[in-house]
Amino acid sequence: QKHPADLYEQMRRTEEAPCEAEIVKDINRTFPKHVLYRDKTGLGQQQLLNVLRAYSVFNPEVGYCQGMGFICGVLLMYMCEEDAFLMLISLLDNYRMSKLFMPGLPLLNKYFFQLQRLLAMHMPSLCNHLAQQGVEPTMYASKWFMTVCIYNFPFSTVVRIWDIFLAEGVKIIFRIALALLMMNQEALLNESFEQILETLKQAPSRVESETLIQVSLSITLPQKTLKDIETEWQAQNAPGM
């Protein structure tokens, strides 16, 4: 989609930004250890605020939601503010990510449903055990989807995942989620509710990057399978997600 050449400046200069207070509150939680973002008065946090604020003005239907900061933070490591702003628009439009952050998180709920079905297909014993312990994807997978595997993942892993994400879209996040569950399956099968959640919380930071990528790409996941599960979800919910 073609945007005016000065779109970013227009959005940045807008005085009213209803989400600004919420964005400011979250800024210092985004990559708090990264040299670009750890200083509260530093350039990185100011750039992050500028871009997120501008996007919230540009797309008030989405506005701002936690998770967007991590995505924007990665973009700003590689490009200037204006390019990061335009890339954020492109990501949320072209990869259908905007519904991840809309009120009610409609796309996230669909992803949880799909992940649960995929878990039952690929690891039925683990799926049953998690169900018995009352553990659902909503409890462990939200940040994997909402930050495109940025939160709590080593940066060396993040850049590998993003390379694949930009090529094939959300499918890689399902692959990564299944790989993390698969690589921790033996431990998870012997754990109770609290232990399971702690294991899955720590899993992204404990696995070796190359191994995780190899395991995830070895998982057979045809696009038709995702589409069939999506059709099932739509039959149970509002169409058009």
Tell me the pLDDT tens digit for each residue of 13-46. 998 899 999 999 999 888 888 899 988 888 999 9
- Whole-model pTM? 0.92
Q: What is the mean pLDDT of residues 106-135?
A: 97
| pLDDT at position 40 | 86
Give residue 59's region: left, alpha or beta (phi > 0; psi -120 to 50): beta
Residue 134 has pLDDT above 80, yes or no: yes
Nearest 5°: CA angle at 138, between 203 and 223?
85
Whether residues 67 and 96 share a domain: the answer is yes
| pLDDT at position 238 | 65
Contact 62, 96 (CB under 8 A): no
Q: What is the dihedral of CA 26, 28, 33, 35, to 10 degrees?
A: 120
Q: What is the mean pLDDT of residues 131-154?
A: 96
All residues at 6 or more sequence positions from 235 whose CB lies less than 8 Å from its CB, including other chains:
none
| pLDDT at position 202 | 97
Q: Cα separations (Å) of 28 from 39, 58, 147, 154, 221?
A: 8, 23, 16, 19, 37
DSSP state of 140: T
Mean of the per-residue pLDDT values of the chain: 94
Whether residues 112 and 197 share a domain: the answer is yes
71-91 burial, b for 16+ CB within 10 Å, e for fewer?
bbbbbbeeeebbebbbbbbeb
| pLDDT at position 80 | 97
Per-residue pLDDT band for 130 (boundaries 50, 70, 90) equals very high
Domain stops at, among 56, 75, 101: 101
Residue 57 has pLDDT above 70, yes or no: yes
Domain stops at, among 101, 127, 146: 101
Q: What is the mean pLDDT of residues 141-166?
A: 95
Q: What is the mean pLDDT of residues 59-67?
A: 92
Q: What is the mean pLDDT of residues 223-229?
A: 97
Per-residue pLDDT band for 231 (boundaries 50, 70, 90) equals very high
Give residue 196's region: left, alpha or beta (phi > 0; psi -120 to 50): alpha
Percentage of the chain surpassing pLDDT 70?
98
| pLDDT at position 226 | 97
Q: Taking Cα atoms as reference points, which of 210, 154, 143, 206 lies closest to residue 177?
A: 143
CATH number of the domain to which 54 belongs: 1.10.8.270
Percentage of the chain surpassing pLDDT 90?
82
Query: How many domains would you assign to the chain?
Result: 2
Half-sphere exposure of 98 (CA within 13 A, CB side): 15
| pLDDT at position 239 | 56
| pLDDT at position 106 | 85
Residue with tokens 């599960």: 229
Q: Residue 231: how many CB atoms within 10 A of its CB?
A: 10
CATH number of the domain to which 133 belongs: 1.10.472.80
Q: What is the mean pLDDT of residues 203-212?
A: 95
Q: What is the mean pLDDT of residues 46-54?
A: 97
Q: What is the mean pLDDT of residues 66-92?
A: 95
**Dihedral of alpha carbons 26, 32, 36, 42, sign:** positive
Residue 199 counted as domain residue: yes
Residue with tokens 């012997």: 190
- The residue segments making up the domain with residue 218 are 106-236
Whether residues 71 and 144 share a domain: the answer is no
Domain stops at, among 76, 101, 126: 101
| pLDDT at position 179 | 99
